[in-house]
Structure 1
Amino acid sequence: MSDTVSDADIIIGVDTHKSTHAAVAISGLGVHLGSLSIPASSRGYEALLDWARSLGPVRAFGIEGTGSYGAGLSRFLNDHGHPVLEVNRPSRQLRYQRGKDDTLDAESAARSVLAGQVTARPKSGTSTVEMIRHLKVARDAAVKARSQAMQALKAIIVSAPSALREGLDRLHGKMALLRHLAALRPGPLTSTMASAKASLRAIARRWLALDAEVRDHDASLGQLTQSLAPALLQAHGMGTGTAAEMLILVGDNPERIHSKRPWPSSAAPARSQHPVGRQAATA
């Protein structure tokens, strides 16, 4: 970047947060030109772009947190034809030594772009892979909650009244136990037997609902993954979850990733448009 930036070019560094973003502009010579704080909203993005353009020809934006708080700003700038580079957040050690300063972080981001230390483009987050990521987040949360529900069931059963616990011991199979618990009738809460049944019934119903949610997410993820990279799912030992993780890692715009080994030009029977799928087919 430092070899191609002219003296008149403007580079903007942005430190992003949930509610506000801090921006600093520097010239191609590294001169600090000004700073700006904007709300993290469409109106704020427009104000930032107007401010940057008023300073001169904008060479690039270096943005921290393009996968989180800076995702909206990155998409906005890309839609308006401005190159955006992904800047890593400063190390915790540096922040501890000098304290947290949003303006300094934004200027550091801009100077990283000027020095050519950052070259990665952020994930676009606007197509099928972003849809997969959304569903994967929801699925993983449901799986975690389902595991916690099962642990809670076991903890209550272990200490439940003997008559209840012995009756449950005669049931065989996890699903049989869960359906039995979900159908319990605790009656008035006047004893530990009733409270144990009420708790077991509520948690068992929660587990069953979460299990149905996980299966729905799996079906949707399977459809999206199959449509995007069918060859990936045909690789030996490749499941829907693993395939989804690989696609999320690469993103919707795989040109961000550079490798000394070129992507295969041909693939086995089911050819995919996504490079991850083409590579998996040749594995």
Structure 2
Amino acid sequence: MQNESTPGARGPVFCGVDTHADSHWLCVLDWRGRKVLSRQFPADAAGYEALAGAIAAAGEPACVAMEGTSSYGAGLTRHLASLGMPVREALSPARMQRRRPGQGKCDESDAERAARAAMSGSRLGTPKSQDGWVDGVRCMLAARSGVLALL
């Protein structure tokens, strides 16, 4: 499913991404908070390129807020950061604050919520670099547990 709104906004844009295993949903807002783009992209290398291209076509990204920069969005986080885009972790609100009772989860609205967080600068964190000593220890423990399973 794809939904595109007002095309061609120029100037700073604020982006939100809701990440999943198979696809990522992107929402782009212009500097006035108007939705410029809302679209789903595949979670693969071609999808990362297309998503980055959609952001660049919309304008200069002031902030790209993503949910799940350390899990489903790790590859996209690395890709956008390598292009020089300012990527931040969108901290998920509590479930009761995120959805009204009786309503299901909506990826498009989650992406828009992240874009609005990018615009306001609230509820944002720094994505993990995934190249420090913590990840080295995580790899070592995973390897060790695999060796122990063979014994």
The TM-score range, normalised by the shorter chain, is: 0.7 to 0.9
The structure 2 residue matched to 1:52, chosen from 55, 76, 79, is: 55
| CA positional deviation for 1:26 | 0.3
The answer on whether the counterparts of 2:23 and 2:43 sit within 8 Å (CA) in structure 1 is: yes
Residue-by-residue CA offset, 1:76-121 (whole Å, 9 max, x unaligned): 1111111111012242223362321000000000101111103421
The equivalent of 2:6 in structure 1 is none
The answer on whether the counterparts of 1:90 and 1:105 sit within 8 Å (CA) in structure 2 is: no
Name the CA distance, whole Å, in 1 between partners of 2:16 and 2:105. 16
The structure 2 residue matched to 1:122, chosen from 120, 127, 130, is: 127
Residue-by-residue CA offset, 1:167-224 (whole Å, 9 max, x unaligned): xxxxxxxxxxxxxxxxxxxxxxxxxxxxxxxxxxxxxxxxxx62887xxxxxxxxxxx
Name the CA distance, whole Å, in 2 between partners of 1:118 and 1:70. 17
Q: Give runs of aligned pairs for residues 1-283 of structure 1, distance below 5 A.
A: 8-93=11-96, 94-95=98-99, 97=101, 98-139=103-144, 142=145, 210=148
| Partner secondary structure for residue 11 of structure 2 | coil
Structure having the higher strand fraction is 2
| Partner secondary structure for residue 71 of structure 2 | coil
The answer on whether the counterparts of 2:18 and 2:111 sit within 8 Å (CA) in structure 1 is: yes
Q: Percent identity?
A: 37
| Partner secondary structure for residue 99 of structure 2 | helix
Long gaps (5+) in structure 2: 1-9
- For the pair shown, the structure with the greater C-alpha radius of gyration is 1
The answer on whether the counterparts of 1:85 and 1:118 sit within 8 Å (CA) in structure 2 is: no
| Partner secondary structure for residue 46 of structure 2 | helix
Q: Given residue 109 of structure 1, which amino acid in structure 2 is its aligned partner?
A: A
Structure having the higher helix fraction is 1
RMSD: 2.3
Q: Report how many residues are paired.
A: 140
CA 1:211–1:21: 2 relative to 1, 3 Å? closer
Name the CA distance, whole Å, in 2 between partners of 1:28 and 1:79. 24
Name the CA distance, whole Å, in 1 between partners of 2:150 and 2:38. 50
Name the CA distance, whole Å, in 2 between partners of 1:8 and 1:123. 28
What TM-score, normalized by structure 1, do the two folds share?
A: 0.46
Name the CA distance, whole Å, in 1 between partners of 2:39 and 2:140. 36
| CA positional deviation for 1:137 | 4.2
